[in-house]
Structure 1
Amino acid sequence: MMKVISSILLFMLGATAFASLDCPLQGDVVLTDGFSLSQAMNTEEQTVTVQLTYQGQGWIGMGFGTGMLNSVAVIGFPDENPALYRLGGYDRASVTELDDQSALRDRDFTQTETESILTFTLSLTENVGINLMAGEETSIIAAFGMSNTLDYHSFRTVKSVTFTECNGAIPTDSMTTPAPVAGEDAMPSVDGPVEAPVSAPVASDSSPAEGVISIGNGATLFTEANEEQGTIFFEIVYEGQGWIGFGVSPGQTMVGSEVIIGVPGSAVGPTNPGKYTLSSQSLGGVTLLPSEKQTLIDATIEQNETHTVLRYSKLMEEDGEFSLSADEPNPFVFATGISNALGNHNQRFTFSASIGGSASGFSNEPRRELWAAHGAMMTIAWGILVPLAISCSLLRDLIPGPEGLWFKLHQFLNSLAITFTIVGFAIAVYAINDQSEGEPEHFDDSPKHKLIGLIIFILAIVQGLIAAFRPHLPKADKNEENPEQPKEKSTLRFLWEIKHRVVGFTLLGLSWYNVDSGLQLFADLFQVDDMGVVFWVVVGVISGVAILLFAFTKLRQSSD
């Protein structure tokens, strides 16, 4: 009941404040869920009237154009008359009220516990840089705030609106307060007259506006190029509290990236936000660039109870640094921290994005349990099972039991190793699919670990199949003509044995290299100790014992 009464009061206030107008507001435009616009253009009086309705409490702003910088906007919030502001930058200090407010003929801002309404009439004859034509699409920027204080905005959009012409034939008492229409697509992005965030997440299920890209859990990215100055503006808004890192990653990996990191709670200055290089995914590999490289423009890191915002402008071309393109997609990396202290991250993504456009090729945070299972399978297969299988062949004369037991052990251990390899390979493919959106790059050469893994997988299966269909030894144990000499092997068998040994030892070498590199990648990725030393100790003990026993056997045979 109170909501109905409040809406009626708002309607009466709006109608009273604008009783002099001769045009009804028309054409509800849904900007996002709970945020709508109605308008009318009076061509006789050369004015345009706009009403913005937000289903919530917060300041409301609207301007004309597609970009925030140097545009003019009308901003309204409680206890103050709406006014014209110049948006000189992305920080609050750059949003300044114009001295000349004569272009605003009527203005009003009303608010209840559930609704905020900004209504204004703007003269088109005043020189405020606004050119409108009835019946033609015009780009507008609109936003509403996270609170009634002119500060962060919860939503900002750019949308094309066709202003409706009227000639003053219909009285204003037909003017109605537009009701927001749910379910329509949220439209593009950009500027509202706010201080910082150009893209703070919407408190609804609506999609981000155009130019605002969802890049993670509760995080959005807004970018805008200034080609005259050769810079790109970045704004990352994270719905949470923690440090923010964002930068360029040509290899689409964290290692080798050049990033900007903002640490809330620390004083904002030349190195916070600062430029860093990442030589590993551990904190020790996060290196702050020297002071002469700290060339960010208007860089800030800000935080309130619900959001953290990193903003900066960066030159597209800088000596010794990765270039940025205003026209082509750029490879980016993004992460947020589990707290404000620079340390472990709670999410990390790599992706490609165009400046002011869309993003693709997202790679999500890898799942530790999948990669741990993959590493365990491959380590056991090639660090334990295959060396034991080879040892059985080399030390066949030392293995007790029935004749041919060494061969059965050799065959069983190799078969088990191939099975572990197939399972481990399948886990890796699944893990890459799980952490990728779009077309996952399973076997690119960055890092080479994946490509070598594919080679090992193929060779292991081929080696196993050829072994199953190998040419057999001669049936007779002895040469009938000369019992002291074994019966000669066929040429095919001779060639197969050479192939079996060459491919086998090649596989073993590649696998040892790849297990070691995989353990290092796992350590870097999940910031744990590198278990490569343990792997080499196990391999060394098994191989060393086998070689010593083999040498001992040969010496004993030669002495006999």
Structure 2
Amino acid sequence: MVGSNAVIGQVSANGLVQEYALTSKSNSGILPTDTNSVTDGVFAPGDDSSALTFTIPVTFGEVGIKAGVENNIIWAYGGAESISYHDARDENTVVLTLSTATDDTAVSNTASSTAESSLSDTLTSTAVPAQTDSPAGTNRIVLDNGGPLFDYTINDTHLTGTATLPQVVGWLAIGFGPGGMVGSTAVVGQAGPAESGSVSRRRQGQTGVEGTSTVSQYNLTTKREAGVVQSDVNGVSDGNFATDADAASTVLSFTIPLQFGTTNLVADTASANNLIWAYGEGDTIAYHDGRGEQAVTLSSAGTEAPSTVNIPTTEEPIADPSAGSAINSSDCTAPSGSVYDSQITMASAGNGLSVTFAWTLDSNAGTLNVQAVSESSVGWLGIGFGETVGEMVPANAVVGQMSDQSVVSYALLAQSQNGVQPTTSNEVVADGSASIASADSSNAGATGTIITFSVPVSFVPGLEDGGETYIIWARGSGDIAQHSPKDQGSYTINLSTCVGQVTSGGFDTALLHSHGIMMALAWMLFVPLAISASALRPAYTQVLGPNKSMWWFHSHRLFNTLAILLATAAFVVAFWLSTEDFVNTHQKLGLAVMIIMWLQPLNAFIRPHIRANGEKRSTLRILWEVLHRALGYGAVSMAIVNVYLGLDEAFADDWLYIAFGVYVGVFVATFLAMYAYYLFFYKGDSKLMNSSIPQDRNTLEHNSVEQSIVEGVSGPKVESMYADM
């Protein structure tokens, strides 16, 4: 591809057929030439076929076109309305004959297209997909995206089909299911060793090669090779898989019941069946570029081809207006001298430090080749590919460690060190490298910490389907450990097209810190002080005097009010930070304690009043006191645990964990010591305390708070002071 000139017709160009220079394999390397040498250009897209007609000079491009000798022709097409990454492509060597316009030479290639051309001082050519009639009594579906021709008949019990691919491959599959690969059931023909019950055939047209083929039913449970599982019961009959090198074709034929696996095939209902297809070069099932999906109508009448509805496999990503700035292919151009096709810079939201991510999609090897560069020297650098925008869990990752210069694949199962687990086998295909380097010619100017690796495209969620990839990155000193928000970030991009919505940088560090500080102040300072004011109310009389005995209640109310305001504000910030609501323990526990906090003021407002002097508390009052106390102590205990979990979520530094433990220990020890003192040892000055009792009992009768003080300080037992906490 690279170094060629091409004639391209596209829907988005409104009929213009343009000459392009192909400077790289990325979108940014497909550049319209300054002068369009194409004349008489016509692009005519259709439902079943599209035609491109043009005239070009024999001096076309850098090498020109020559008669009577071999010329290299490349071709490609795609389902999008403008140029984008594509599976359907090939190249051929052809001899163009110098002739008059009526003496045409037909040239065929392995991608099921034909070209008619005449060569004088110009080349006039028409390229259209090859079309042939379906066999008598059958229906034909022309599968999109370079797929096979599918001829079939369907009756009340069975579907008989023949898939013809105009090239020689090692395996070919036709499947039906709910939509997409996962959950479908497929017929797979492959040129591998015969298995019990399989159909053995000679691979035709390959002289001297004796082989066997199998045609079997498979259940597609995941997109990985391990998820393509041969069914215990093979529902395929009359299966045949054959290749013909002379005709450059592969044919898979079979008969299956209408109830095929978990899929029920339906005849004569518009677009009622989801058909998938795939093929690969090897003799056994493996990752593949050749694949597609369509919703099809299976017609029981053996007439013309039924209608189809295309389900694109490489949709344009949907932009989230709040996710970040949009990019296009020109933003992804790798610098001159780079061995990679594309490159982006991923910045953290914390302090502007960045990681450069360069990549090439190798469709032949089925790999993603990556170089990641941290602009600073670090102990380890990790690149992950997640299933959710900006989220670490769950994800697959590759981590390079400088200590032993290892590059290993990991499964990210939890946001803790224990949740970062090496995969059962290292998914890194080629030998990865990890190093700290200065700029030189070998790394195209990259400096800092560098890791390079190749992984199967199946390792990257979404890449096989041509969708968006959610990249996450992190780095740290020493070996793999927890890291601060300033050393992590995320990016959302379509690696195939380099077009999409970019989400830069992980957490907003300022918001993250404000959430943590406000929650810590609310639950670790003001709520404990509010509880202490109620539990240690004799201290107010002892320290402030009998005239200030009501201050415990004012303090209790003030501290709780401050706590509710701060915690509610922090809760709103948490919603702003989170991409998903209440999916982990920290979020769920946080919601629970906030609900209790919001209910406690209502609980206090509807409390049963205590009775007049000397009367026992009612059962309802006792139950309320137990509930109010239990909710208060329970909420603050859960909240303190949740603050610790929050430190984990934020990948806090070690000194914060130490400070947390010391603070909680000192506060709890002080509270228990004071509580024990006032409960068991402090008797108070009854004369002084009794002097604080107001004489107007009628006033107190409607004020449960003051009444509790009166009963508490005048009663014979100190325990009574804690009766209405």
* TM-score normalised by length of structure 1: 0.53
Tell me which residue corresponds to 1:65. 76
Q: Is the 8 A contact 1:303 1:309 kept in 2?
A: no
| 1:393 aligned residue (534, 537, 548) | 534
1:377 aligns with 2:518: yes
Tell me which residue corresponds to 1:449. 586
Q: How many Å separate the matches in 2 of 1:346 and 1:185?
A: 26
**Residues 222-371 of structure 1: pairs in structure 2 closer than 5 A:** 223=361, 232-236=366-370, 245-249=382-386, 253-254=391-392, 257-261=395-399, 273-276=407-410, 293=426, 295-297=428-430, 303-305=443-445, 310=452, 312-314=454-456, 316=458, 326-327=464-465, 332-335=470-473, 347-349=488-490, 362=503, 364-371=505-512
SS state at 2:558 partner: helix
**Residues 33-52 of structure 1: pairs in structure 2 closer than 5 A:** 35-37=31-33, 38=36, 40=38, 50-51=60-61
Deviation at 1:449, TM superposition (A): 0.6
SS state at 1:537 partner: helix
Q: Is the 8 A contact 1:326 1:355 kept in 2?
A: no
Tell me which residue corresponds to 1:500. 628
Letter in 1 for 2:640: W
**Residues 444-523 of structure 1: pairs in structure 2 closer than 5 A:** 444-445=582-583, 447-474=584-611, 476=612, 478=613, 485=614, 487-490=615-618, 492-522=620-650
Deviation at 1:131, TM superposition (A): 4.9
Q: Is the 8 A contact 2:428 2:454 kept in 1?
A: no
Deviation at 1:69, TM superposition (A): 10
Q: How many Å separate the matches in 2 of 1:44 and 1:531?
A: 70
Structure 2: gaps (5+ residues): 6-15, 22-26, 41-52, 63-71, 78-84, 99-104, 116-124, 130-144, 146-326, 346-353, 435-441, 684-715, 719-725
Tell me which residue corresponds to 2:18. 27
Letter in 2 for 1:303: N
SS state at 1:496 partner: helix
Q: How many Å separate the matches in 1 of 2:489 and 2:387?
A: 16
Aligned residues: 395
Query: Cα–Cα, structure 1 residues 502 and 536, in superposed 2: closer, same or farther, change >3 Å?
Result: same
Moved more, 509-518 or 302-311: 302-311
SS state at 1:234 partner: strand
Tell me which residue corresponds to 1:77. none
Deviation at 1:274, TM superposition (A): 3.8
Q: How many Å separate the matches in 2 of 1:276 and 1:424?
A: 33
Letter in 1 for 2:383: F
Deviation at 1:511, TM superposition (A): 0.2
Q: How many Å separate the matches in 1 of 2:417 and 2:73?
A: 43
Q: How many Å separate the matches in 2 of 1:263 and 1:41?
A: 57
Query: Cα–Cα, structure 1 residues 501 and 45, in superposed 2: closer, same or farther, change >3 Å?
Result: closer
Letter in 1 for 2:526: L
Q: How many Å separate the matches in 2 of 1:535 and 1:189?
A: 44
Structure 1: gaps (5+ residues): 1-13, 15-24, 53-60, 74-83, 85-99, 106-122, 140-183, 203-215, 433-439, 479-484
Q: How many Å separate the matches in 2 of 1:129 and 1:354?
A: 25
Deviation at 1:426, TM superposition (A): 2.2
Q: Is the 8 A contact 1:63 1:72 kept in 2?
A: yes
Query: Cα–Cα, structure 1 residues 530 and 254, in superposed 2: closer, same or farther, change >3 Å?
Result: farther
Q: How many Å separate the matches in 1 of 2:659 and 2:409?
A: 36
Q: How many Å separate the matches in 2 of 1:511 and 1:488?
A: 35
Q: Is the 8 A contact 2:384 2:471 kept in 1?
A: yes
Q: Is the 8 A contact 2:468 2:500 kept in 1?
A: no
| 1:419 aligned residue (523, 542, 565) | 565
Q: Is the 8 A contact 2:332 2:498 kept in 1?
A: no
Deviation at 1:190, TM superposition (A): 12
Higher-RCO chain (CA-CA 8 Å, sequence separation at least 6): 1
Q: Is the 8 A contact 1:197 1:311 kept in 2?
A: no
**Residues 2-17 of structure 1: pairs in structure 2 closer than 5 A:** none
Letter in 2 for 1:393: S
Query: Cα–Cα, structure 1 residues 450 and 257, in superposed 2: closer, same or farther, change >3 Å?
Result: same
Query: Cα–Cα, structure 1 residues 101 and 273, in superposed 2: closer, same or farther, change >3 Å?
Result: farther
Deviation at 1:464, TM superposition (A): 2.4
Q: How many Å separate the matches in 2 of 1:103 and 1:298?
A: 44
| 1:536 aligned residue (635, 642, 661) | 661
Moved more, 504-513 or 39-48: 39-48
Tell me which residue corresponds to 1:114. none
Deviation at 1:506, TM superposition (A): 1.9
Residue by residue, what CA displacement relative to the aligned partner does 1:351-399 show, whole Å, maximum 9, x if unpaired? 5979779877957321323222211111122112222211121111222
SS state at 1:554 partner: helix
Letter in 2 for 1:36: P
Q: Is the 8 A contact 2:382 2:398 kept in 1?
A: yes
Q: Is the 8 A contact 1:520 1:530 kept in 2?
A: no
Tell me which residue corresponds to 1:545. 670
Query: Cα–Cα, structure 1 residues 62 and 549, in superposed 2: closer, same or farther, change >3 Å?
Result: farther
Q: Is the 8 A contact 2:108 2:114 kept in 1?
A: no
Q: How many Å separate the matches in 2 of 1:450 and 1:361?
A: 26
Mark the structure with the bigger radius of gyration. Answer: 2
Residue by residue, what CA displacement relative to the aligned partner does 1:402-444 show, whole Å, maximum 9, x if unpaired? 2311111111111111112112222222333xxxxxxx21x23
Tell me which residue corresponds to 2:69. none
Moved more, 247-256 or 275-284: 275-284
* TM-score normalised by length of structure 2: 0.43
Q: Is the 8 A contact 1:452 1:514 kept in 2?
A: yes
**Residues 148-159 of structure 1: pairs in structure 2 closer than 5 A:** none
% identical equivalent positions: 21
